[in-house]
Each structure stands twice: as structure tokens, then as C-alpha cells.
Structure 1
Amino acid sequence: MDVRIESVRTIEIRSEGAKPLVFLRFLDDINTIFNCIFEGTSMPSKPEGVRRYIVMSKDGYLAEPLDTANLQPSTSTIRLAARARVAAPAPQMRVLDSLHDNGPKLVEMAPEGELSLRLSSPDLKIIPEVFYHRQWERFRVHQRPPRPAAKGTAVKKTTAKKASGKRTARKADASRVRLAATANIAATRFTVSVVARSGGAPIEGAHIVAFTNFAARQGAEATTGANGHATLNLLPPNQPLERVYVYAPAGYWGFYATRTTGANLAEIKLTSIDVSDPTLLLTQLYRRLPTSAGDGVTVAIIDSGVDGTHPDLTNVTGGLNCVSDEVRADPEAAQNWRPALTEGEHGTHVAGIVGGRGPAGGFRGVAPGVKLRSYRVFPDHPRPPPNNGASNFDIAKAIDTAVADKCDIINMSLGGGPKDDLTRAAIDRAIAAGVVVIAAAGNDDRSPVSFPAAFVECVAVSAMGRVGTFPKSSIGTSNVAKPKGKPQTGDFIADFSNFGPEIDTTGAGVEIVSTLPGTGHGSMSGTSMACPAVAGFAAYLLAKDPALKQKSGSSRSRALKDALYAACKPENFGRDYEGFGLPLP
């Protein structure tokens, strides 16, 4: 019997009430399983140590040696030549995906296969698949605190007797044990109530992260339910807490506290966000730009997807799901450029900063006149760490597609991965086509600039903030640090922002209010937010200069970069923190 499944998105195998244990994404893998079930055969074992690589031209992006039948995507494996002095069967390779017939390939094979391919194909370059991450400032607990020592009534163990009096004593002892256990549980957790500062309504969806040891990321976290309550386990009410972060749902500012205890946090009040507030940082910097700013310019958002149905994002004209695993499992998924099912709000927030266009008196981004396109590279279901980000293969596909779709500017609010030849080659092709690529410098607490922003071809953006543009109780307070700018402005470089000689500009990146999936707005921080602020301003510069728009190729991208740098005003942060400065009208 031959059972075939022609279309499937994802099959999840899970134990009841648990997270998915297995995600089956490939049609051939699923069909193999079903045929094994019906035919009674055993599952073929996957070769030990199989890894994913990119096979690309040694000297560029496209190459004739890549345009062969053996290097086109297939469910079959290719037998590679065995090395002469290796006593092992000839290694095998499977081509999973391809960027053009003569372009880079995503393949899987054992490390022995990589060595074999290097020997047999010296004109090709084999590099590992690597992953990049969203550059927003969001902390998570990495380890739970030690379980507190049990406290309660000590109960003397008794020996069972037949007499009824002894049975009564045992029941009384058991009752005291249960009461003591209940007391112990209550002593090792506390409940927080999160409400609106105005009116006191409970707030659902607020995520609380409490650290007993911030450096070790040790603590507990929980999310409020419909009643606004969240319980943090293994944290006694009197446990000293180094830091507490509350990441708020749409419509509210977050909350930050330090050197406190659970007992002091019985009720946390969140302040609502007013998108018409003139003190918001984007408003202070760019509100005087015309509503037509960016008209005729298209900006690519390479990110976690964008909600084009948001009422303030009517200028989203389309896009592509570039996550190879998802599209290979279901070709129709290519049109799923909407927000990813996991942490998909990031891309919608980024898009709003570039070009949100709300009604008069409502929210607006830097360049409301732009057209936006969404190229999703973060998957719906993240892979296990450390491969839980966006693949370099998918990012290269997104860059390639954005260029083909005539985008003028590419925004990449991602980073944190290693130096990567494929991403750089794709960026080089974009620049040769006249596109400017703007990337987030990274949020590694003043570490060197991360890739891809560290590539000289990119515009690398650090993150600055301004005291007074967010509530004192919000998370932005934790980001205030030196170096500080001009005393009269209250400006500072965020404590999380990377820095170094690769920095080209700084941008508004602390407590930036923008669009969230659905109809709401919220605040986020990170070089992820600073990057689109600069991208929006670059779109404004391109739109208002006809001579610049008429240029083409690398001369156009160079000219737009020069115009952007010329518009930057130094804020006295220092060269390695701000580059040319903050782009301002």
C-alpha cells in the first residue's frame, strides 16, 4: 500500500497538555512515516550528525557550477564522492532549496559530506546555516531559583496501631501535614495583580519577569489572566528581587522596579499610552515632517511579518513568506507574510515606525508616505535554541526578493549571528541594484556591533533615548546610561546598545510607541526600533530629492547614504556610539 499526502502545513506530536514534541514539516518525511505504518517497515534512520549548509559560488552569488541537475531541490539524496583515505561509505547530500537555478543552495549532509564536496567542487563555497535574532530589548528567565527550604509544623511520625484512638491521632497528624504543605506552597510563591492606573481595571496579557539574580537570569516569570493576576512560583513574598520587568499588552506602558520584594508588588498599576502625546520621542523628532514624507519610496521590512490589516498600516502593499521550511511543506504558505505565530508583533511594530499613517491627531511613523512590503524570515514555530532565529538562507531570499520587487530601502531589525558570507553577498547585490540596507547594531549591552550591521556595506544604527518621553515607572528608566548627550535634551545612548567603529548613525530606540497586530499600539525598545526610525528618515530624503531618485545602481545607494549622513546632527555621544549622529530634519 502506498499512502500519499499531497498538502500539509504542520503535524504536531505532543503529549497531552504539553508543548509540541515534534514538528513534521516535510512532505517526504511525513509520507515515509505513513508508509512505514501501513507496510510494517521500520523507519529509516537519519544519518548521525546531519547538518544544514549553504552551497554558493566561491566568488559571488550566482555561478554556472550551481546550475546542474544534481544541485536542484529534490526529495532524493545525492551520493558524493568518498575520500580516498576515509574508510566509510560515500556521504550523501540532499538539496532542500535554491535561490535561483544558478544561485545558493540550502542542503543537508553530514560533516564528511561537506569535506567531500569541498574536494570535488573547488569552485564552490560551503558555509554553515546560521541564525539571527530580533533586536528588541526583552528579558527572559534562564534558570529557576533554588527551591526554598520547607517551613511548617514539624509532625512526629507515628506507628500504626489497631486501636481507634491511634487511628484518630493519625488522622489529626495527616491533617497537620496537609496544612503544613499548604503553608509551604503559599510561602514559595506570590501573586501579582496588574491593573490600569486610571480606573483600576484588570489587565490581561501583562508578562511579568522577576529576577533574583539578574546576571544569571535567575528568577520566575508569568503572564496575567483575565482577572489581571499572575502567580510567580518558587519566589517567597519576602524574597529580595534585583529587577522586575512588566511587558505590557497593547495600550499600556510597561513597568520596572529594582531592589524590591514580592510583598511590595501586590498591585502594579500601568499607565495607558496616548498616541497623540506630543512628548513621545518619534513625535518630538519627526512630527514636523509632512504626511507625504517618503512618497514614491518602497521600504522592505525583513522581519517577523507585518499585519497589513492594521488601520494605521494601509500602505502595506504585499510581501512574501521567506521561511524555507514552511514553504517547502506547503507552497501556499508563501503568501503568509503576516505576523509569525510566535513573537510576530515585532515586525508590525517596526513597520509602524517606518511609515505608520494614522488619522489626523493619531499615530504616525517617520515617513507616512512610503509603501511598505513585508518579507517574513522568522518562523511560526521557532527551532530549538540556538537555531531559533531567522536563517541566513531565508534572509538572503528576502533581500533577493525585495530587490526584485523594486524596494528602495531594506530594513533589517535583526542581528546577533556570526559573520556570514551568504548574507553579505545578498547585501552586495542589493547595493549594486541601488538599494540601501539599514541594520540594527545589536542589544548586547555595549558589545561590539553585531552582524549583519557590522558589514561595511550596511548602515549600522545604535539606539538612543530621551528622558521625559516615557513614564518614570516604565522599563525605559532601566535603559538610561552614559554617555549622555547635550544636557538640555536629556538624551542618552541606551545601556543595551552595541557600539564601535562600525556605527554610522544613532536612532530613536528607547520606549518607542508604534503599531501592534490588530488595531492597537505599544511601546518597545531596542536597536530594532532605532533602525526603522533611520530607514523612515532615509525614505523621506530619497522622496524629496528628484536628482537622487534618478540615479541608479551602486551610485544611487552611495548617494542616499551620503545624504543620510549629511542630515545627521552629532549629539555629543562620541564617534563609536553615534557615528555621524542623529538624523534630523
Structure 2
Amino acid sequence: MKKNNSDSKNYILLPVFRTNVNKQDSPNVARFLSMLSNSVEQSSTVSLASRNMHQRASDDIPVVVLDSIETQGAKLISINAEELANFRFSYPGLRIIKEKFYRPAVCLPKRILLQVEQAEIKTAVTVNITDPEGNALAGTTVVIFTDFAASKGASGVTDAKGVIALSLDRTTAERIYIYANHSYWGYFKKDVALTATLSIQLTPIALDYKDSLRYFYDTAKLPKITQKVRVGIIDTGVGPHRDLVVSGGKNLVRGEKETDYQDNGEGHGTHVGGIIGAYGGVNGVAAGVEIRSYRVFPKDKGASNFDIMKAINQAVTDQCDLINMSLGESQVDEGITSYIKEAYNAGIVCFAANGNDNRSPVSFPANDSLAIAVSAMGRLNTFPPDSVESGSVQEPYGTDKDNFIADFSNIGPETDLTAPGVGIISTYPNDLYAVMDGTSMACPAATGMAARILAGNPDILNLPRNQTRADEIVKYLSVNIKSMGFGNLFEGKGMLQPPTSK
């Protein structure tokens, strides 16, 4: 019976033991993957012969080869799910992994899951958002909860006049969250009496403000790194920004231009890049480090596990020393795991964000045993008192009671480090600056400090690119970690310290 093409799904084919097949050990698999590589450019259906008791042409397995990582490496294919058993028996020696998608590990605006019904409306509120000079702030997200536990309320985005009209079922807002894309701190307040007009001013970002990153790492006083250390950032792309120098990279998103590895417009990767290596308006923790940008996120969509695999492979080819992955997903992916292992065997250490699911278990790839998993911490008085960040304060507190693990940070025994991730000021595309929260911000803080520490040991950097090199990097970082007093589930071993710290 002819299969319905609409039932086709994308799967990844990967050799059994490594990311590339050994011709001598598996010549048939090597030939098969090479044949599929030749079909990528054609984007047409390939008819693969099946191995059945009574062979017929109608039994052929139709496959579309969508993408490839090296000639005898992983392939992304589209195949009817009903054909998978036939495919596995006909072409053994390959792992078959479903394509799935990852999200950035940044704290997104709170979401209304239960909208107020028309019959429930008791209050109509016009929210007016301005800066301190009274200038309207368009494109600002306003979220008002009347029942936070039930995620009930209303939300919207301000118009060109900085105004949004919302209808609510109560006369009191349990919580109000306001999020600016850039240039301003957000706003948070509990138990607000709702009136016909609600006027709120947002606080502009001051570049000399001492946020939690600059409290723990006084970046303005840290010297620029002169020893060559190369950091790969797998994200939404990095730049353009006058404070950032990106030495190169690649756009791994299928169907997009490979040379367009700047930010896709969401700003996440540029913010991450600034935390690591910005120099100018704000300084990152490793100013002077070499940054390479590997874009895996299409605009407003998740990153394919296949594209992340391609990005890690490219970072290995480009001889990065460290890889930053401020992204995550709940389930383990053996394809990405294979490439993290490949990177480690090439002397490269991957850092990954724990995730922001409110103290849930550590997400993947942070929970991979070869990745360095980073939780997010904050500090009181490093953000305005009415900012969104004030809603992230939660126990446990550290040895210094002004320090806390963010309420959003995932935790667990896989956690290796903690780093500042609450109210972080960093670069945003087109020479702007933004405040963001998340283990997405903590991860590059740790990656950047690791780069700074490694810059002081050229002997390790000059080791042959193999597992021993990665082992030595991890061991060397270990002696520069200080416990912050949160406990292992929350902070792992603790926080990386600048090399001059004792």
C-alpha cells in the first residue's frame, strides 16, 4: 500500500559508535552514507531498496535527504514513520534519532494561560508605559495576573503611544509584570488596585550600574585577554554591536545563508556574547577572547538538534577551546551527546545552561556528564527594587545572605557550577543594551571566566587536541572554584573565581 507523504517526519541517521563511520569497520554503512550525501543537493526523493522475502519495486523505501554532516557522518532525512521498521532491517548499523527542537535558556515573559472571559469582566484598564521623561515606550509587553497560581489574567503589547487596554475579572491585580525588549529594566509589583488608567515608568539602563555580574566579577578592572582562547557560541547568532568582535562562524540553520551568523533579531546570542567578550560600553568577563558565532535558531523558532550537532562539529573543525550552549530541552538526545563527546575527545569543553523551569531537574544538554552544567544565582541590591528581577529572589541563601539561587533556575546533582544570571546588563543587536535573566546568562558568565582562567595557562592550551587536553582544562578550572554556600544541588562545586582571587 502506498504511504501518505503527509505522515513523513524528520529523523537523524548516525553511525553506531562515533559521529563518523570507519570505512574499514563498516564499509557498507560508509558507502550508504556517502550515497546519501550525494543526494542532499538534489532535495528529491531517493528510492531505497528494501530487503523483503519477495522483493518488489513497490516495496522501495522513499526517503528525502535534507542535510548532512560530513560525507560519512550524520544525515537528516524525511521518511514515513511506517517505514522505519523496514528501514532498520534493510539498512542496519545506524542509530535513528527523531528531530526535535530546543529553546534558549532565557527567562521568557510570564504567560497568561487562562484568559478572562467576556462575562467575567469587571475592570477595564488602560496601561500607559513611559520613560522618566514621559516618552512613550512602544512594543513593551504587559502581563497582569488576577490569579497567578491559575495563570489567569490578560496581557498585550503597547502600541506606538505606549498604551495597551486590558479587560480583567477583578479590581485588584495579584501581579503585574512589564518587559522591555532593550534599553530599560522591567517592572514587577504585587497586589495592585486597578484603576481606569495605570501609568508606569520604566528605569533606563545605566551602563555603569553594578549588576550581579559586575558585583562578582568587576569586569571594568579585568585586563583584556592577550593569550589566544577561542570560544564558540551556539545560539541565535552574535552581533552586530560595537562592543563585540566576532572572528567568524557559520549559520547552521537549514535553508539560511551560511555566512549570516549575526543575531537573528531576537538578541539572545548577542547578549550571551557580550557577557563573555564585550569591551567598550560594557565589558564581559573575558574581554579580548576570540568569539565564533554558530547560529542554530531561526527567527521565533526552536533550534533543531541536527543543527546543534552541526554547530558542535563546526566548532571542533574551527578548533574552539570552549563551547557555550545557553539552550535546553527536557529529554536527553543521543545525537547531541555524541557530538559533545566528539568535542571532548578533541580537547574542547562544553558549558550548558541548567534551564529555567523553576527548580525542575537539570535540562539537557547540561545534564550530560561531559558538559559543565551552570545554575543561575543573583544578589540583592544589584537590580532596581521594582524590577522584574525582584520577583526571582528565593531561598536558599548563600554564606553571604544577600546571595540567592534564582527561583527559575533548574537544580540537581548534575549541576557543576553557579554563576550570576539575574538582572544581567549586556549587549543587544545594533549597538543597544538589554537586561536579561536566566541560566542562559549564567552559562556565558561561567564560560567567559573559564576562558580568562585558561588564558593564564598556555601549557594546557598548547596540548594536543585530545581527551587529555579536555581533562586538564577541567582539572585546572577546578582549583579556581569557590563554594558560595548554597549546597551541591544548587551550585555544584561553586562559582569560578578570577585567577587573581585567593
Distance 2:202 2:226 in 1: 35
Between stretches 257-266 and 544-553, larger displacement belongs to: 257-266
Which residues of 2 match residues 8-19 of structure 1 at below 5 A?
Answer: none
Is 1:201 paired with 2:110?
no
Q: 2:168 aligns with which of 215, 232, 235?
A: 235
Could you list the runs of 5+ residues in structure 2 that have no partner in the other structure?
Answer: 24-28
Matched residue SS, 2:386: coil
The superposition leaves residues 444-495 of structure 1 with CA deviations (integer Å, 9 ceiling, x where unpaired) of 111111100100000000000000000110011111001110245x000001
| Higher Rg of the two aligned structures | 1
Aligned to 1:275: 207
The superposition leaves residues 177-208 of structure 1 with CA deviations (integer Å, 9 ceiling, x where unpaired) of xxxxxxx8xx6642111112x32322222211
Aligned to 1:502: 414
Could you list the runs of 5+ residues in structure 1 that have no partner in the other structure?
Answer: 1-43, 151-183, 328-332, 383-388
The superposition leaves residues 121-166 of structure 1 with CA deviations (integer Å, 9 ceiling, x where unpaired) of 221111111211101111353534242328xxxxxxxxxxxxxxxx
Which residues of 2 match residues 57-72 of structure 1 at below 5 A?
Answer: 57-63=15-21, 64=23, 65-68=29-32, 69-72=34-37
Matched residue SS, 1:364: coil
| Letter paired with 1:79 | S
| Letter paired with 2:148 | F
Distance 2:303 2:315 in 1: 16
Matched residue SS, 1:101: coil
Aligned to 2:44: 76
Distance 2:182 2:307 in 1: 29
| Letter paired with 2:250 | L
Aligned to 2:125: 190
Q: 2:258 aligns with which of 311, 319, 334?
A: 334
Aligned to 1:354: 276
Q: 2:479 aligns with which of 562, 566, 574?
A: 566
Which residues of 2 match residues 283-298 of structure 1 at below 5 A?
Answer: 283-287=214-218, 290-293=222-225, 295-298=227-230
Q: 1:101 aligns with which of 71, 88, 91?
A: 71
Which residues of 2 match residues 23-422 of structure 1 at below 5 A?
Answer: 47-63=5-21, 64=23, 65-68=29-32, 69-72=34-37, 73=40, 74-80=42-48, 81=50, 89-141=59-111, 143-149=113-119, 189-196=124-131, 198-232=132-166, 234-235=167-168, 238-263=170-195, 266-277=198-209, 279-287=210-218, 290-293=222-225, 295-307=227-239, 309-313=240-244, 315-324=245-254, 326-327=255-256, 333-341=257-265, 344-358=266-280, 362-380=281-299, 382=301, 389-422=302-335
| Letter paired with 2:287 | P
Say whether the 8 Å CA contact 2:3–2:80 is kept in structure 1.
Answer: no
| Change over 3 Å in CA distance of 1:50–1:261 after alignment to 2 | farther
Sequence identity, in percent?
A: 39
Q: CA deviation at 1:84?
A: 5.4
Supply the RMSD in Å over aligned alpha carbons: 2.3
Say whether the 8 Å CA contact 1:340–1:378 is kept in structure 2.
Answer: yes
Q: CA deviation at 1:264?
A: 8.3
Aligned to 2:446: 534
Which residues of 2 match residues 482-561 of structure 1 at below 5 A?
Answer: 482-487=395-400, 490-552=402-464, 553-561=466-474
Aligned to 1:452: 365
Distance 2:149 2:54 in 1: 49
Judging by fraction of residues, say which structure has more strand: 2
Distance 1:484 1:264 in 2: 40
| Change over 3 Å in CA distance of 1:264–1:410 after alignment to 2 | farther
| Letter paired with 1:418 | Q
Q: CA deviation at 1:82?
A: 6.4
| Letter paired with 1:363 | V
Matched residue SS, 1:273: coil
Q: CA deviation at 1:248?
A: 1.4
Distance 2:318 2:4 in 1: 38
TM-score normalised per structure 1: 0.78
| Letter paired with 2:138 | E
Matched residue SS, 1:378: coil
| Change over 3 Å in CA distance of 1:217–1:323 after alignment to 2 | farther
Distance 1:83 1:390 in 2: 37
Say whether the 8 Å CA contact 2:241–2:429 is kept in structure 1.
Answer: yes
Aligned to 1:435: 348
| Change over 3 Å in CA distance of 1:366–1:310 after alignment to 2 | same
Say whether the 8 Å CA contact 1:294–1:367 is kept in structure 2.
Answer: no
Q: CA deviation at 1:417?
A: 4.0
